[in-house]
Amino acid sequence: MKKLRIFYGWWIIAAGVCIAAMTSTFFVYGFSAFFIPWRDQFNWSRGSLGAIVGLSRLEGGLVAPISGYLIDRYGPRKMMFFGVGLMGVGFIALRWVSSLTHLYIVFLALLAVGSSFGTGRPLQVAAANWFIRKRGRAMGLLMSGYGIGGSLVFLFAMLIENSGWQTAALVAGIIMWGIGFPLILIIRHKPEHLGLFPDGITPSENTDPLTNESNTDSHTDSPLKQPSKPKFWQRDTRPELDLTTWQAIRTQAFWMMALTYAVFAGVPGITTVHLAPFLAEELNLEYVLAVAALSGFVAASVVGRIGFGFIADFMNIKILTAFLLLMVSATLYLFSTIQTLSQVPLYVICFGLAYGGIIPLRGVLQGYFFGRTSFGTVGGLLQFVDLPATVAAPWFIGFLADEIAGGYRVGFKLIALFVSTAVVAILLAKRPRPPLPNDAPPSIFKRNPSK
C-alpha cells in the first residue's frame, strides 16, 4: 500500500478522541451534572445515586473480560457499532425515568454495557496495535478525549438547567448516534490489515526511538532494538514482549499492575460523582460554578494526559506512574483540609494534572509488560480485578458523607491513604521474561490464528 502522508493511525486517534469526548461529556462526567437535579426532583440520597456509578462500573468490570476477548477476536469496529448504538438507546430512554429502579435499569442494561463495548476498551486496543514507539503519545491524545469532554460538562449542565434534564438526555442520545456512527467507520484493528506497520515505519526503518540506531534483533518484529542498559529513569528500550493471555496472567507483573490500578480505581468514581457536590455543599459554591470547577479539573487532566503521555515515551514508565500516584494521594489529602475558596483553583489544577497523567499510562504499562497479542483480553481481566474499589468507593464516600462524617473530608483522607499504597505495588512490578517456546496455553487462551 502506498505510504500515506499522515500515518493512518493518527486518523484513528483523532476519531477516537471525538468518540471519547462525547462519551465523557454525556456519561462519564455528565452524570455529575444530573446529580443535583435528580436529587432535588426525586429526593434521592447521595448514597443511592453514588451506588449507580458503582454498580455500572461493577457491570463494566464483569463484562470487560468478555468484551476484551471479543474485541481481540473480531476487532474494535464491530464492537463499537454495537456499544455506541446501545448507549444512544440508553440516553433516549433516560428521559422517561421516573423512579430509582428505572434509573438503575437504564444505566446497567444500556449505558454501562454500551460503554464497555463501544468506547474505552476498543479504542485503547486500536491505539495499542497501531503504535509501539509512540504509544505514550497516542494513548495520551486518545485519553485526552475524555478530558476534553469532561471540560465541556458545564455546557451540558447549562442545557440541563435551561431545558431540563429530560431534553438534555434526548440530545445526548441523538448526538451519540449522529456523530458516533460515522466516526466508527474510521477505526481499524491493526496496521497489518492495511499493509502498514506500527508507528508508520517499515522494517527497514526499525530504529530505536531514543538513539535512531538500527534494530538488528532478528527475533522480534518490534521497532525497538536491544540497547545497552538505560539509566534508571530512562525508558526501557528492549524489544516489546508479545504474550498471550495465559502467559500474561502467570506473571508477577500482571498482579502488581492489577493491585496498583485496583487501589486507584476508586478515584474516578469519587471524582465524577462527589467532587462537584463537595464544592457546592461544603464550600458554598453555586451549583453551576461547582460543575465548572469539575470542568476545570478535567481540563487540567487533558494537559496531564497529553503531557505525561509524551513523557512516557522517553521515561521509565514505572517511576513516572509512581510519581503521579503520589501526587494524586497528596492532592486528595489537601482537598480534605481545604478551608477557603482561594485554595480551590490550585488544588483542582494539581489534582487534574496528576490524575490525567495516570490514565494513559495504564495502556502504556500494559503494552510494556505484555505486548499487543491479547491487549483487549488482558486489559479486560485487569479491569475485572479493579471491581472492589470501583464499586465500593463512590457508594462508601457517599455513605460516609450522609450517615457518619457529615461531609466528604474524612472519605477523601481515607482514599488518599489507599492510593499511596499503590506506589509500592507498581515499583515492585517486574517486566516478564520472554516466554519459552513450549509455554503453551490452554485452548481457551490461545490466540486466534487468523489474527
Q: Residue 234: inside a domain, yes or no? A: no
Helices assigned H by DSSP within 285-408 = 287-312, 317-337, 344-370, 375-385, 387-399
Cα within 13 Å of Cα(92), Cβ side: 11
Using an 8 Å Cβ cutoff, are 184 and 77 in contact? yes
Q: Is the pTM value of this prediction over 0.85? A: no
Concatenated DSSP letters of 40-79: HHH---HHHHHHHHHHHHHHHHHHHHHHHHHHHHH-HHHH
Identify the pLDDT of residue 12. 96
Burial class from Cβ neighbours inside 10 Å (0-12, 13-18, 19+) for residue 26 reads buried
Q: Please enumerate in sequence order all residues whose Cβ is within 8 A of that of 70, keeping only pairs 6 or more positions apart, or say none.
A: 79, 117, 376
Give me the domain span that covers residue 315.
8-194+241-428
Give pLDDT, residue 209.
Answer: 42
The one-character DSSP state at 437 is T
Q: What is the mean pLDDT of each run of 10 residues along the chain (451 residues)?
A: 74 95 88 82 80 76 91 93 95 89 89 90 93 93 87 85 91 95 94 87 56 42 52 71 90 93 84 77 76 79 92 92 94 84 84 92 93 91 85 79 80 88 92 72 49 42
pLDDT of residue 2: 54
Query: What pLDDT score was predicted for residue 125?
Result: 94
Neighbours of 41 (CB within 10 A): 11
CA atoms lying within 13 Å on the CB side of residue 311: 18
Domain count, the chain: 1
Q: Which long-range contacts (CB under 8 A, 24 or more apart) does 409-412 make?
A: 409/282, 409/335, 409/336, 409/337, 410/336, 411/270, 411/274, 412/270, 412/332, 412/333, 412/335, 412/336
Q: Which amino acid would we find at residue 145?
A: G
264 within some domain:
yes
Q: How many CA atoms lie within 13 A of 177 on its CB side?
A: 12
pLDDT at 412 (0 to 100): 85
CATH of the domain at 327: 1.20.1250.20
Look at residue 301 and tell me if it is in a domain: yes
User: Is residue 293 a contact partner of residue 150, using CB atoms and an 8 Å limit?
Assistant: no
Residue 440 lies in a domain: no
Position 393 in a domain: yes
Give the integer Cα–Cα distance in Å for 27 and 56.
Answer: 11
Q: Could you give the C-alpha distances from 196 to 129, 133, 186, 224, 446, in angstroms and in order?
A: 11, 15, 15, 17, 25
Helix, strand, coil percent content, the chain, rounded in steps of 5: 75, 0, 25
Provide the 3-class DSSP secondary structure of residue 207: strand
Asked whether the beta carbons of 118 and 84 are under 8 A apart, the reply is yes
- Asked if residue 433 is part of any domain, the answer here is no
At residue 194, the pLDDT reads: 85
Contact between 241 and 369 under an 8 Å Cβ cutoff? The reply is yes
Q: Is 214 a domain residue?
A: no
Determine the Cα–Cα distance for residues 69 and 12; give it in Å rounded to an integer: 21
What DSSP letter does each residue of 93-152 carry, written as one string? HHTT--SHHHHHHHIIIIIHHHHHHHSHHHHHHHHHHH-STTHHHHHHHHHHHHHHHHHT
Contact residues for 253 (Cβ-Cβ < 8 A; gap 6+): 369, 370, 429, 430, 431, 432
Give domain status of residue 205, yes or no. no
Q: What are phi and psi of 335, to 5 degrees?
A: -60, -35
- All cell numbers assigned to 260: 496498583
